[in-house]
Amino acid sequence: MIQIEDLRLVDALAQAPSLSAAARALNVTPPALSARLRKLEATLGLALATRTARRLSLTAEGERFAQEGAALLAQLEALPESFRREDRRLTGTLRIAAPFGYGRHHIAPLLARFAQLHPGLRLQLDLRETPWPDRQDSDAVIHIGVVRDSSWIARTLAPNARWLCASPAYLRAHGTPGEPRELLGHACICIRENDEDVTLWRFRRPGAERGRGRKSPARETLRVVPAFTTNDGSVARQWAEQGLGLVLRSEWDAAEAVARGTLVRVLADWEFDSAPVTLLVPTRRGRTARVQALLQFFEETLGSGARNSAAAPARGQA
């Protein structure tokens, strides 16, 4: 008979890169976990995982067991909510995924406040390069940028413009661009995030109209050749602060550097594709009271202008 510990075992294996990592997550030794896995496979008559010296991966049967087992675990965990006491305290585990930079600087402090409001909750914050609910291992996902197709509901929590910035030293040495086309002669720093076309930069001059006698159009699109590329937005900002080039970065990350003078906004009268802060949650049918409370908390703390938004092809960087 399948036990709840078996479901947790395969769930840990699905999320961990190795058997040792899964063992640490379950607070058991690797030999003990390996023995439990062999026993479960013998019970099922199936191979659930393949093992090498460096890596463990689930078989197709293991993937299916993990997916269906995770759904059962979620149902079991949510069961006490249907029998909550009259004080309606929230209990159980709430799993949130967020991008590394924004999650570390903004979501983690907010979750500390949220935990004080709901001491019966266990919170799990998973910081990832590109969080997305397709993995089905989170109750809510923080996404930076326009939302691509998803069955989850996207709730915009806060606007987030993107700024083109460079250090004062770089601008003194190489000049300050006055028009987008001048960027082709500058060193540009690009960030690989969300499977974006990161070298295609789109510009729009607010309120401008293409007309007779105007030298610069209201909209421009440039294909820049990056001098530096990274998948970490904080590294890209630091490179820009060190004078290596111009970076297109989210306002939430660049504003502090601009305020202290280590970065300067460039082409400030032009706008770039925005990257709003969005909370992805399940449909109402699959949404727990914990997720609903988190949604309400984020709406109140990150912005009062939250609204439902239709899923659309994503553009924008974290």
CATH code of the domain covering residue 263 = 3.40.190.290
Q: How many domains does the chain have?
A: 3
Q: How confident is the model at residue 155 (pLDDT cuts 50, 70, 90)?
A: confident
- Main-chain dihedrals φ then ψ at residue 104, nearest 5 degrees: -70, -40
- Is residue 167 domain-shared with residue 263, that is, in the same domain? yes
- Rounded to a whole number of angstroms, the distance between the first and last alpha carbons of the chain is 45
Instruction: Choose one of 79, 104, 119: the last residue of a domain.
Output: 79
What pLDDT, on the 0 to 100 scale, is given for residue 136?
57
Q: Residue 52 pLDDT more than 50?
A: yes
What pLDDT, on the 0 to 100 scale, is given for residue 237?
94
Q: Which of 228, 224, 159 is nearest to 197 (CA)?
A: 224
- Is residue 174 domain-shared with residue 234, that is, in the same domain? yes
In this structure, of 44-48, 81-85, 156-160, 254-258, the range with the lowest mean pLDDT score is: 81-85
Q: How confident is the model at residue 306 (pLDDT cuts 50, 70, 90)?
A: very low
314 within some domain: no
Structure tokens at 207: 């309120």
Residues 160-201: pLDDT tens digits?
A: 889 999 999 999 999 999 999 999 999 999 988 766 678 888
Domain that holds residue 173: 162-272
Q: Residue 313 pLDDT more than 50?
A: no
- Is residue 128 domain-shared with residue 26, that is, in the same domain? no
315 within some domain: no
Structure tokens at 236: 């890209």
Strand positions, DSSP E, 187-230 = 188-191, 200-204, 219-223, 226-230
Residues 7-16: pLDDT tens digits?
A: 888 888 887 7
Strand positions, DSSP E, the chain = 49-51, 56-58, 92-99, 121-128, 140-144, 153-158, 162-166, 188-191, 200-204, 219-223, 226-230, 246-250, 264-266, 271-272, 277-281, 307-309
Residue 127, domain CATH:
3.40.190.10
